[in-house]
């Protein structure tokens, strides 16, 4: 089992964009052969690379990469200062969407869909957009506020946290449901993860980790699994084990939310976690 997280040291400034890492791993373990479903991408400054056992493979130079969301074919979607990009495994540009010039605002979040290489994105003007792998806009809707977190499900639907609510849209962009999260006014969502096999939604906030049955009644409130300031969240969709960085410590919860024996791993005070990755 492999656990990894990317951090940003405070002496690099406030942008937290100098080092990012993304891993496509067990999410498609049931559908993809083992040789295919491990592709690690990293971005440092303007240097984008794919990481393999033999070392880093230089791919491209794209300015100010902010987030990476790898696809099932070994490629990746990425957000950068000049918009949204889709790259093949070899670095070929499959699509570049200039959000500002197209009136979409600034790209804010991006999460690749599990099977078809498409991507769900949100913008800072509260748009939720779904793009095909080669760039065409497939669906779009307006949210009540910019998305604080978003995650795709195995059925290609998307879950979004916006304005203190969890909103679910189908794969074709139709609204399905909205649930109030009943968070405190000063509590902010940090990350969202979907356990499709067990029908659970996991939510990380600045005050704790919560779970909610994805097929529960819309009035059901999230159940608190752990209290503490959470900086990152990841899930192993095979076992349902949740990994999180809570109060600077890497912790694990089983699929029922019970804390497992602690890892002997603590984030240094001078570092800020950016991402948490899980490869079973």
Successive 10-residue mean pLDDT values, the chain, 280 residues = 40 36 31 40 74 72 80 87 88 91 89 88 94 93 93 91 94 91 90 91 94 77 89 84 87 88 61 52
Residues 157 and 171 sit within 8 Å (Cβ to Cβ): yes
Those residues whose C-beta lies under 8 Å from the C-beta of residue 111, and which sit 6 or more positions away, are 69, 119, 120, 121, 150, 151, 152, 158
CA distances from 100 to 80, 87, 134 (A): 12, 20, 19
- Residue 200 burial (CB < 10 Å; 0-12/13-18/19+)? buried
User: Do 157 and 176 form a contact (C-beta atoms < 8 A)?
Assistant: yes
pTM for the model:
0.76
Per-residue pLDDT, 94 = 92
| Dihedral sign computed on CA atoms, order 170, 236, 198, 72 | positive
- What pLDDT is attached to residue 262? 61
Contact 225, 211 (CB under 8 A): yes
Gap between the Cα atoms of 266 and 280, Å rounded: 21
How many beta carbons lie within 10 A of that of residue 10, not counting itself? 13
């Amino acid at each position: 089992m492999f656990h990894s997280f990317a951090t940003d040291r405070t002496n690099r400034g406030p942008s937290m964009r100098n080092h990012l890492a993304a891993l496509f791993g067990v999410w498609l373990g049931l559908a993809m052969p083992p040789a295919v479903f491990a592709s690690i991408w990293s971005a440092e400054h303007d240097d984008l690379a794919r990481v393999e056992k033999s070392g880093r493979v230089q791919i491209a130079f794209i300015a100010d990469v902010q987030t990476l969301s790898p696809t099932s074919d070994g490629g990746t979607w990425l957000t950068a200062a000049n918009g949204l990009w889709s790259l093949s495994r070899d670095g070929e540009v499959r699509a570049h969407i200039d959000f500002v010039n197209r009136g979409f605002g600034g790209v804010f979040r991006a999460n690749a869909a599990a099977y078809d290489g498409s991507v769900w994105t949100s913008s800072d003007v509260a748009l939720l957009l779904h793009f095909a792998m080669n760039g065409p806009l497939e669906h779009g809707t307006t949210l009540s506020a910019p998305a604080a977190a978003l995650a795709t499900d195995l059925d290609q639907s998307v879950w979004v946290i916006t304005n203190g609510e969890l909103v679910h849209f189908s794969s074709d962009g139709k609204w399905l449901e909205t649930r109030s999260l009943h968070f405190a006014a000063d509590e902010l969502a940090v990350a969202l993860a979907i356990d499709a096999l067990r029908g659970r939604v996991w939510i990380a906030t600045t005050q704790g980790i919560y779970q909610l049955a994805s097929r529960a009644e819309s009035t059901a409130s999230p159940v608190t699994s752990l209290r503490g300031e959470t900086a990152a969240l990841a899930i192993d969709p095979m076992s349902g084990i949740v990994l999180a960085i809570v109060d600077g410590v890497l912790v694990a919860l089983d699929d029922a939310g019970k804390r497992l024996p602690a890892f002997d791993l603590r984030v240094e005070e001078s570092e800020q976690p950016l991402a948490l990755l899980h490869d079973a």
